[in-house]
Amino acid sequence: MPRSRKNKHRNHMKHKNHKYKECHHERDDSQDHKAALNSAAVEEKPSCSLSSMPEKIPDKPLASESKSDTIEWSSREPSPTNICNDGTRYVKNEYCHGEEKSFYPEYQPCYDNPCRNCLDMCVAFVEQYILYKFKMKQPIIREDLLSVINPNYQYRYQEIFKRAFEHIEIVFAVNVMEVDTTIHLYDLVSKIKLPNKGRVCAGRGLPKTGLLMNILAMIFMKGNSVAEEEVWKFLNIMQVYPGRKHFIYREPRKLITQDLVKLKYLDYRQIPNSDPPRYEFLWGPKAYTEVTKMKVLEFMAEGSDTEPRKFLVQYAEALREENQKCQEKIGANTGTNARPRHLPCPQVLTPK
Protein backbone atom coordinates (compact mmCIF):
# COMPACT_ATOMS: atom_id res chain seq x y z
CA MET A 1 0.00 0.00 0.00
CA PRO A 2 1.43 3.45 -0.84
CA ARG A 3 2.69 5.52 2.10
CA SER A 4 0.20 8.34 1.58
CA ARG A 5 -2.72 5.93 1.68
CA LYS A 6 -1.34 4.31 4.87
CA ASN A 7 -1.08 7.70 6.55
CA LYS A 8 -4.66 8.54 5.65
CA HIS A 9 -5.88 5.20 7.04
CA ARG A 10 -3.86 5.69 10.26
CA ASN A 11 -5.27 9.20 10.81
CA HIS A 12 -8.83 7.95 10.22
CA MET A 13 -8.44 5.19 12.82
CA LYS A 14 -6.99 7.64 15.40
CA HIS A 15 -9.92 10.01 14.87
CA LYS A 16 -12.44 7.15 15.22
CA ASN A 17 -10.82 5.84 18.44
CA HIS A 18 -10.81 9.35 19.91
CA LYS A 19 -14.55 9.75 19.31
CA TYR A 20 -15.28 6.31 20.79
CA LYS A 21 -13.34 7.19 23.98
CA GLU A 22 -15.24 10.47 24.37
CA CYS A 23 -18.59 8.75 23.87
CA HIS A 24 -17.66 5.96 26.28
CA HIS A 25 -16.49 8.50 28.87
CA GLU A 26 -19.79 10.41 28.62
CA ARG A 27 -21.75 7.17 28.99
CA ASP A 28 -19.77 6.24 32.09
CA ASP A 29 -20.45 9.68 33.59
CA SER A 30 -24.15 9.30 32.86
CA GLN A 31 -24.29 5.85 34.42
CA ASP A 32 -22.37 7.07 37.47
CA HIS A 33 -24.85 9.96 37.82
CA LYS A 34 -27.85 7.60 37.62
CA ALA A 35 -26.28 5.25 40.12
CA ALA A 36 -25.73 8.14 42.53
CA LEU A 37 -29.38 9.20 42.20
CA ASN A 38 -30.60 5.66 42.79
CA SER A 39 -28.34 5.30 45.80
CA ALA A 40 -29.67 8.55 47.25
CA ALA A 41 -33.24 7.42 46.64
CA VAL A 42 -32.60 4.16 48.45
CA GLU A 43 -31.08 5.97 51.41
CA GLU A 44 -34.02 8.40 51.63
CA LYS A 45 -36.70 5.68 51.24
CA PRO A 46 -38.62 5.23 54.52
CA SER A 47 -39.20 1.88 56.18
CA CYS A 48 -42.85 2.01 55.13
CA SER A 49 -43.78 2.86 51.55
CA LEU A 50 -46.74 2.71 49.25
CA SER A 51 -44.77 0.55 46.85
CA SER A 52 -44.40 -2.12 49.52
CA MET A 53 -48.14 -2.70 49.74
CA PRO A 54 -49.17 -6.04 48.24
CA GLU A 55 -51.41 -5.86 45.18
CA LYS A 56 -53.71 -8.71 46.21
CA ILE A 57 -54.88 -10.46 49.33
CA PRO A 58 -55.55 -14.16 49.77
CA ASP A 59 -58.83 -15.54 48.50
CA LYS A 60 -60.42 -15.24 51.88
CA PRO A 61 -62.64 -12.91 53.04
CA LEU A 62 -64.19 -4.55 53.94
CA ALA A 63 -67.52 -0.09 52.84
CA SER A 64 -66.36 2.61 51.92
CA GLU A 65 -68.25 5.83 52.54
CA SER A 66 -70.41 7.45 49.89
CA LYS A 67 -72.02 10.85 50.10
CA SER A 68 -75.37 11.37 48.51
CA ASP A 69 -76.61 14.64 47.10
CA THR A 70 -80.20 13.46 47.29
CA ILE A 71 -80.31 12.79 51.01
CA GLU A 72 -78.88 14.24 54.17
CA TRP A 73 -76.60 11.47 55.31
CA SER A 74 -73.70 9.44 54.02
CA SER A 75 -74.14 5.75 53.46
CA ARG A 76 -71.61 3.01 54.06
CA GLU A 77 -71.75 0.68 51.10
CA PRO A 78 -69.81 -2.51 50.49
CA SER A 79 -67.63 -2.58 47.43
CA PRO A 80 -65.54 -5.13 45.52
CA THR A 81 -62.44 -3.88 47.35
CA ASN A 82 -63.70 -5.04 50.71
CA ILE A 83 -65.85 -8.11 50.18
CA CYS A 84 -64.70 -11.69 49.76
CA ASN A 85 -64.73 -11.78 45.96
CA ASP A 86 -62.23 -13.60 43.81
CA GLY A 87 -59.42 -11.38 42.57
CA THR A 88 -60.07 -8.83 45.30
CA ARG A 89 -57.76 -5.83 45.43
CA TYR A 90 -56.93 -4.25 48.75
CA VAL A 91 -56.78 -0.51 49.23
CA LYS A 92 -53.17 0.59 49.17
CA ASN A 93 -51.65 1.67 52.49
CA GLU A 94 -48.22 1.81 54.02
CA TYR A 95 -46.72 -1.41 55.30
CA CYS A 96 -43.23 -2.37 56.37
CA HIS A 97 -40.62 -4.71 54.98
CA GLY A 98 -39.19 -7.50 57.09
CA GLU A 99 -37.43 -10.82 57.15
CA GLU A 100 -39.63 -13.01 59.36
CA LYS A 101 -42.52 -15.06 58.07
CA SER A 102 -45.98 -13.51 58.34
CA PHE A 103 -49.25 -13.47 56.40
CA TYR A 104 -47.16 -11.95 53.63
CA PRO A 105 -43.60 -13.20 54.14
CA GLU A 106 -42.09 -10.10 52.51
CA TYR A 107 -44.12 -7.63 54.61
CA GLN A 108 -43.64 -7.37 58.33
CA PRO A 109 -45.34 -4.98 60.78
CA CYS A 110 -43.37 -2.43 62.78
CA TYR A 111 -42.36 -3.86 66.16
CA ASP A 112 -41.54 -0.81 68.28
CA ASN A 113 -44.63 1.28 67.56
CA PRO A 114 -47.24 -0.65 65.55
CA CYS A 115 -48.53 1.65 62.82
CA ARG A 116 -52.27 2.04 62.41
CA ASN A 117 -52.06 0.88 58.81
CA CYS A 118 -50.72 -2.50 59.90
CA LEU A 119 -53.63 -2.88 62.34
CA ASP A 120 -56.01 -1.81 59.57
CA MET A 121 -54.75 -4.72 57.49
CA CYS A 122 -55.38 -7.16 60.34
CA VAL A 123 -58.89 -5.75 60.75
CA ALA A 124 -59.51 -6.17 57.02
CA PHE A 125 -58.34 -9.80 57.08
CA VAL A 126 -60.63 -10.64 60.00
CA GLU A 127 -63.58 -8.86 58.41
CA GLN A 128 -63.15 -10.56 55.04
CA TYR A 129 -62.66 -13.94 56.67
CA ILE A 130 -65.92 -13.55 58.63
CA LEU A 131 -67.83 -12.57 55.49
CA TYR A 132 -66.27 -15.40 53.52
CA LYS A 133 -67.25 -17.96 56.17
CA PHE A 134 -70.78 -16.57 56.40
CA LYS A 135 -71.15 -16.50 52.63
CA MET A 136 -70.09 -20.15 52.36
CA LYS A 137 -72.27 -21.14 55.37
CA GLN A 138 -69.26 -22.36 57.32
CA PRO A 139 -68.73 -21.97 61.09
CA ILE A 140 -66.94 -18.85 62.28
CA ILE A 141 -64.60 -19.86 65.11
CA ARG A 142 -62.34 -17.55 67.10
CA GLU A 143 -59.31 -19.80 66.62
CA ASP A 144 -59.67 -19.44 62.85
CA LEU A 145 -60.04 -15.67 63.14
CA LEU A 146 -56.85 -15.49 65.19
CA SER A 147 -55.00 -17.48 62.55
CA VAL A 148 -55.43 -14.71 59.95
CA ILE A 149 -53.90 -12.09 62.30
CA ASN A 150 -50.16 -11.60 62.21
CA PRO A 151 -48.69 -13.28 65.34
CA ASN A 152 -47.07 -10.00 66.33
CA TYR A 153 -50.52 -8.42 66.68
CA GLN A 154 -52.52 -11.26 68.20
CA TYR A 155 -52.17 -9.72 71.66
CA ARG A 156 -54.42 -6.92 70.32
CA TYR A 157 -57.04 -9.30 68.96
CA GLN A 158 -59.85 -7.78 71.08
CA GLU A 159 -59.33 -4.35 69.49
CA ILE A 160 -59.07 -5.92 66.02
CA PHE A 161 -62.23 -7.98 66.52
CA LYS A 162 -64.14 -4.98 67.85
CA ARG A 163 -63.28 -2.83 64.83
CA ALA A 164 -64.06 -5.60 62.35
CA PHE A 165 -67.40 -6.39 64.02
CA GLU A 166 -68.40 -2.72 64.11
CA HIS A 167 -67.66 -2.19 60.42
CA ILE A 168 -69.64 -5.26 59.42
CA GLU A 169 -72.55 -3.96 61.51
CA ILE A 170 -72.44 -0.53 59.85
CA VAL A 171 -72.29 -1.90 56.32
CA PHE A 172 -74.55 -4.96 56.51
CA ALA A 173 -76.86 -4.06 59.44
CA VAL A 174 -76.02 -7.30 61.22
CA ASN A 175 -74.48 -8.01 64.62
CA VAL A 176 -71.52 -10.36 64.95
CA MET A 177 -72.42 -12.30 68.07
CA GLU A 178 -70.79 -15.14 69.98
CA VAL A 179 -73.44 -17.86 69.91
CA ASP A 180 -71.38 -20.58 71.62
CA THR A 181 -68.97 -19.58 74.40
CA THR A 182 -67.52 -23.09 74.70
CA ILE A 183 -65.90 -23.21 71.27
CA HIS A 184 -66.17 -19.44 70.74
CA LEU A 185 -68.45 -19.73 67.74
CA TYR A 186 -69.68 -16.52 66.08
CA ASP A 187 -72.58 -15.82 63.78
CA LEU A 188 -74.11 -12.85 61.94
CA VAL A 189 -77.50 -11.89 63.38
CA SER A 190 -79.59 -9.63 61.16
CA LYS A 191 -81.23 -6.52 62.63
CA ILE A 192 -84.31 -7.42 60.57
CA LYS A 193 -85.70 -10.95 60.38
CA LEU A 194 -85.10 -11.43 56.68
CA PRO A 195 -85.20 -15.06 55.47
CA ASN A 196 -82.05 -17.19 55.46
CA LYS A 197 -80.25 -14.96 57.99
CA GLY A 198 -80.64 -11.88 55.86
CA ARG A 199 -79.75 -13.49 52.54
CA VAL A 200 -83.45 -13.30 51.47
CA CYS A 201 -83.08 -16.06 48.86
CA ALA A 202 -82.14 -19.67 49.53
CA GLY A 203 -78.53 -20.77 49.24
CA ARG A 204 -75.27 -19.02 49.90
CA GLY A 205 -74.71 -15.29 49.93
CA LEU A 206 -74.22 -12.18 52.03
CA PRO A 207 -76.87 -10.30 54.02
CA LYS A 208 -79.19 -7.87 52.21
CA THR A 209 -80.20 -6.16 55.46
CA GLY A 210 -77.93 -3.17 54.93
CA LEU A 211 -79.61 -2.30 51.64
CA LEU A 212 -83.08 -2.55 53.18
CA MET A 213 -82.07 -0.38 56.15
CA ASN A 214 -80.68 2.27 53.82
CA ILE A 215 -83.92 2.36 51.83
CA LEU A 216 -86.04 2.50 55.01
CA ALA A 217 -83.85 5.34 56.28
CA MET A 218 -84.22 7.22 53.02
CA ILE A 219 -88.02 6.83 53.13
CA PHE A 220 -88.04 8.12 56.72
CA MET A 221 -85.83 11.11 55.90
CA LYS A 222 -88.00 12.03 52.90
CA GLY A 223 -91.22 12.27 54.87
CA ASN A 224 -92.20 8.56 54.93
CA SER A 225 -92.35 8.17 51.13
CA VAL A 226 -89.79 8.53 48.37
CA ALA A 227 -90.02 8.42 44.57
CA GLU A 228 -88.43 5.43 42.86
CA GLU A 229 -86.11 7.57 40.75
CA GLU A 230 -84.65 9.14 43.90
CA VAL A 231 -83.99 5.71 45.34
CA TRP A 232 -82.08 4.64 42.23
CA LYS A 233 -80.20 7.92 42.16
CA PHE A 234 -79.01 7.20 45.68
CA LEU A 235 -78.25 3.53 44.98
CA ASN A 236 -76.24 4.47 41.88
CA ILE A 237 -73.82 6.23 44.20
CA MET A 238 -73.45 2.89 45.95
CA GLN A 239 -72.75 1.33 42.52
CA VAL A 240 -76.09 -0.48 42.58
CA TYR A 241 -77.93 -0.21 39.25
CA PRO A 242 -81.29 -1.58 38.06
CA GLY A 243 -80.93 -4.49 35.68
CA ARG A 244 -77.22 -4.96 36.43
CA LYS A 245 -76.16 -7.93 38.54
CA HIS A 246 -74.53 -6.91 41.81
CA PHE A 247 -71.98 -9.05 43.62
CA ILE A 248 -74.05 -8.89 46.83
CA TYR A 249 -77.59 -7.95 45.85
CA ARG A 250 -77.72 -9.99 42.61
CA GLU A 251 -80.48 -8.31 40.53
CA PRO A 252 -81.28 -5.19 42.59
CA ARG A 253 -84.52 -4.24 40.84
CA LYS A 254 -86.05 -7.66 41.51
CA LEU A 255 -84.80 -7.60 45.11
CA ILE A 256 -86.28 -4.18 45.85
CA THR A 257 -89.49 -4.09 43.82
CA GLN A 258 -90.45 -7.77 44.15
CA ASP A 259 -88.71 -9.75 46.90
CA LEU A 260 -88.79 -7.12 49.66
CA VAL A 261 -92.29 -6.06 48.60
CA LYS A 262 -93.51 -9.64 48.70
CA LEU A 263 -92.01 -10.01 52.17
CA LYS A 264 -93.97 -6.83 53.14
CA TYR A 265 -90.92 -4.84 54.21
CA LEU A 266 -91.52 -2.30 51.43
CA ASP A 267 -94.66 -0.93 49.85
CA TYR A 268 -94.26 -0.16 46.13
CA ARG A 269 -97.11 1.74 44.54
CA GLN A 270 -97.93 4.18 41.78
CA ILE A 271 -97.93 7.87 42.65
CA PRO A 272 -101.51 9.15 42.34
CA ASN A 273 -102.32 11.20 39.23
CA SER A 274 -98.84 10.68 37.77
CA ASP A 275 -98.71 10.73 33.97
CA PRO A 276 -96.63 8.99 32.75
CA PRO A 277 -96.91 6.59 35.71
CA ARG A 278 -94.33 7.08 38.45
CA TYR A 279 -93.82 4.91 41.51
CA GLU A 280 -92.82 5.43 45.11
CA PHE A 281 -91.64 3.41 48.10
CA LEU A 282 -93.09 3.39 51.60
CA TRP A 283 -92.49 1.28 54.68
CA GLY A 284 -94.31 -2.05 54.51
CA PRO A 285 -96.34 -3.45 57.42
CA LYS A 286 -93.58 -5.88 58.44
CA ALA A 287 -91.05 -3.05 58.62
CA TYR A 288 -93.28 -1.26 61.14
CA THR A 289 -93.49 -4.49 63.15
CA GLU A 290 -89.78 -5.37 63.26
CA VAL A 291 -88.10 -1.97 63.01
CA THR A 292 -88.64 1.33 64.78
CA LYS A 293 -87.86 4.74 63.37
CA MET A 294 -85.43 5.24 66.22
CA LYS A 295 -83.46 2.12 65.22
CA VAL A 296 -83.33 3.29 61.61
CA LEU A 297 -82.23 6.74 62.77
CA GLU A 298 -79.49 5.24 64.94
CA PHE A 299 -78.31 3.06 62.03
CA MET A 300 -78.24 6.09 59.76
CA ALA A 301 -76.41 8.23 62.33
CA GLU A 302 -73.83 5.51 62.96
CA GLY A 303 -73.10 5.26 59.26
CA SER A 304 -72.72 9.04 59.11
CA ASP A 305 -70.54 9.11 62.24
CA THR A 306 -72.91 11.49 64.01
CA GLU A 307 -75.63 11.49 66.68
CA PRO A 308 -79.34 10.82 66.08
CA ARG A 309 -80.16 14.12 67.79
CA LYS A 310 -78.52 15.95 64.91
CA PHE A 311 -81.58 15.11 62.79
CA LEU A 312 -83.97 17.26 64.83
CA VAL A 313 -87.24 16.68 62.97
CA GLN A 314 -86.72 12.96 62.49
CA TYR A 315 -85.49 12.51 66.06
CA ALA A 316 -88.63 14.17 67.45
CA GLU A 317 -90.81 11.97 65.24
CA ALA A 318 -88.94 8.83 66.34
CA LEU A 319 -89.41 9.82 69.99
CA ARG A 320 -93.13 10.29 69.48
CA GLU A 321 -93.36 6.83 67.98
CA GLU A 322 -91.41 5.37 70.91
CA ASN A 323 -93.72 7.15 73.34
CA GLN A 324 -96.82 5.86 71.56
CA LYS A 325 -95.56 2.27 71.55
CA CYS A 326 -94.67 2.59 75.21
CA GLN A 327 -98.19 3.73 76.05
CA GLU A 328 -99.70 0.89 74.00
CA LYS A 329 -97.50 -1.64 75.77
CA ILE A 330 -98.50 -0.28 79.17
CA GLY A 331 -102.16 -0.34 78.23
CA ALA A 332 -101.89 -3.94 77.03
CA ASN A 333 -100.15 -5.06 80.23
CA THR A 334 -102.27 -3.20 82.79
CA GLY A 335 -105.51 -2.59 80.94
CA THR A 336 -105.29 1.12 81.79
CA ASN A 337 -103.36 4.15 80.60
CA ALA A 338 -101.57 4.49 83.95
CA ARG A 339 -97.84 4.58 83.65
CA PRO A 340 -95.87 2.31 86.03
CA ARG A 341 -92.70 3.81 87.45
CA HIS A 342 -90.52 0.97 86.16
CA LEU A 343 -91.60 1.61 82.55
CA PRO A 344 -90.81 5.26 81.86
CA CYS A 345 -91.67 6.46 78.38
CA PRO A 346 -89.16 8.54 76.44
CA GLN A 347 -89.59 12.27 76.59
CA VAL A 348 -90.64 13.93 73.36
CA LEU A 349 -88.40 16.83 72.47
CA THR A 350 -89.68 19.60 70.26
CA PRO A 351 -87.02 20.82 67.83
CA LYS A 352 -86.15 24.48 68.17
Q: Which residues contact 169 (CB under 8 A, 6 or more apart)?
A: 175, 176, 302
Please report whether residue 229 resides in a domain: yes
Q: Are 98 and 115 in contact (CB under 8 A)?
A: no
Identify the pLDDT of residue 18: 53
pTM of the model: 0.66
Closest residue by Cα to residue 122 from 104, 97, 99: 104
Residue 64: which pLDDT band, with cuts at 50, 70 and 90? very low
Domain count, the chain: 2
User: Which whole number is the average pLDDT over 153-161?
Assistant: 93
Q: What is the pLDDT of residues 173-227, one digit of tens each?
A: 999 999 999 999 999 999 999 999 999 998 999 999 999 999 999 999 999 999 9
- Does 161 lie in the same domain as 96? yes
Q: What is the pLDDT of residues 74-133, one digit of tens each?
A: 555 554 334 444 333 333 333 333 333 333 333 344 544 556 788 899 999 999 999 999
- Does 231 lie in the same domain as 171? no
User: Which whole number is the average pLDDT over 12-35?
Assistant: 51
- Does 174 lie in the same domain as 134? yes
Residue 345: which pLDDT band, with cuts at 50, 70 and 90? low
- Does 65 lie in the same domain as 186? yes
- Does 236 lie in the same domain as 182? no
- Does 62 lie in the same domain as 181? yes
- Does 269 lie in the same domain as 147? no
Looking at the chain, the whole-number percentage of residues with pLDDT higher than 70 is 62
User: Which whole number is the average pLDDT over 310-335?
Assistant: 88
- Does 80 lie in the same domain as 165? yes
Identify the pLDDT of residue 80: 37
Please report whether residue 121 resides in a domain: yes
Please report whether residue 325 resides in a domain: yes
- Does 309 lie in the same domain as 257? yes
Q: Are 318 and 293 in contact (CB under 8 A)?
A: yes
Q: What is the CATH number of the domain that holds 258?
A: 1.10.10.1210
- Does 115 lie in the same domain as 60? yes
Please report whether residue 23 resides in a domain: no
Please report whether residue 328 resides in a domain: yes
Identify the pLDDT of residue 174: 95
- Does 281 lie in the same domain as 186? no
> Domain range for residue 181?
55-190
Residue 328: which pLDDT band, with cuts at 50, 70 and 90? confident
Please report whether residue 199 resides in a domain: no
Exposure of 263 by Cβ count < 10 A (0-12 exposed, 13-18 middle, 19+ buried)?
Answer: middle
Q: Decide which of 174, 190, 206 is a domain's last residue.
A: 190
- Give the residue, 275 or 8, on which the prediction is more confident: 275
Q: Are 314 and 297 in contact (CB under 8 A)?
A: yes
Identify the pLDDT of residue 100: 36
Q: What is the CATH number of the domain that holds 132?
A: 1.10.10.1200
Please report whether residue 143 resides in a domain: yes
